[in-house]
Amino acid sequence: MPTLLPDGAWPVMLTPFRADRSIDWDQVAAYADWLVELGSAGVFTVALSSEMYDLTPAERIALARRVVQTVDGRVPVIASAIGAGPDETAEAAAGLADAGVSAAVLVSPLLAAPDEDDTAWIRGAERILDRVPDLDFGVYECPVPYKRLLTLETVRWLSDTGRFTFYKDTSHRVDVMAARIEVLAGSPLRHYNAEISSLVESLRAGGAGFSGYAANIYPELVAWLCANHDTAPEADVATVQRILSVAEHSINSRYPSSAKFFLAHSSRLTMSSVSRWKPESIGGHDGQPLIDLARYLETAGLPALDSGRR
């Protein structure tokens, strides 16, 4: 039987690097601990935010293993299985299973070419599932190398297999999300919105939570929004969602370096802003507005802003 994943905030975990661009394993552990302590329902590592395409296959497995070891059962950990085709992807998924993840996430654009329909996509997914029979899976509609949104019929197929537990929806359309959520009802496959500005709408349509940038820098606020969207004063709910939207947009252009820089100035974490994916450093022109935003939010009186950040 598949393991049901919890509702709430699912950060797409950043990968800290040292100045020489090797993985900073101490900060990986510190960041994973911090995310859990501040209320994350689960952790998605080896995601695009983790710079997954700039990690070696061995590093992807090692990263997943270190996060699983650090989290130590407090929350589930999932990670992307990446390969050039179904067989390589299945091999990666098997490695992730050995590392202890709760689910291996299939990256939607990697299972079929842009000119192939979802029949080809399903064939590839079936091959992977057959080769790794004892592992749960997820799907991430990653925008790189191209954005592939699955059809409603394919989402129904995912649901009907009973093998999928996590769906990261990047459609950015509430009507599409609502239709998918309806199809998933009663299955183990949970819907996680990637767009913070529509989170409340997707939650009220029956979605399970959020998996995106905002949860990387303010997991406690995303967790609060997921838990209180229907019970807290509407003004507070609207304010928190707007603040998260602004914060996420503020780190968007230089992401993921900007998010690492932001955390270094808004939390107890000491990770550098070094990135393999976008190696240009964050200077004063880009960095000072992020510092100003972090300082402003510390005094904004937001519900659930956790003093444990520091």
Q: What is the DSSP string of 41-105?
A: S-EEESSGGGTGGGS-HHHHHHHHHHHHHHHTTSS-EEEEE--SSHHHHHHHHHHHHHHT-SEEE
What predicted TM-score, i.e. pTM, was given to this entire model?
0.97
Task: Give per-residue pLDDT as tens, 239-272.
Answer: 999 999 999 999 998 999 999 999 999 999 999 9
Cα–Cα dist 92/275, whole Å: 23
Q: Is the pLDDT of residue 308 over 80?
A: no
8 A C-beta contact, residue 191 and residue 169: yes
Mean predicted lDDT score pLDDT of the chain = 97
pLDDT at 304: 81
Summarize the confidence of residues 108-123 as an average pLDDT: 98
What class is the 8-227 domain? alpha beta
Task: Give per-residue pLDDT as tens, 137-150.
Answer: 999 999 999 999 99
pLDDT at 280: 86
Summarize the confidence of residues 280-294 as an average pLDDT: 92
- Which helix (H) or strand (E) is 8 found in, with range? strand 8-9
Task: Give per-residue pLDDT as tens, 139-189.
Answer: 999 999 999 999 999 999 999 999 999 999 999 999 999 999 999 999 999
Percentages helix, strand, coil for the chain, rounded to the nearest 5?
50, 10, 40
- What SS3 state is found at 172? coil
CB burial class (10 A; 0-12, 13-18, 19+) of residue 203? buried
Q: Provide the terminal-to-terminal Cα distance of the chain, rounded to the nearest Å.
A: 40
- What residues does 23 pair with on adjacent strands? 17
Copy the structure tokens of residue 302: 């937001």
Cα–Cα dist 85/125, whole Å: 10
Cα–Cα dist 76/188, whole Å: 15
What percent of the chain lies above the pLDDT cut of 70?
Answer: 99
Picking from 160, 200, 206, 198, the residue whose alpha carbon sits closest to that of residue 179 is 206
pLDDT at 310: 78
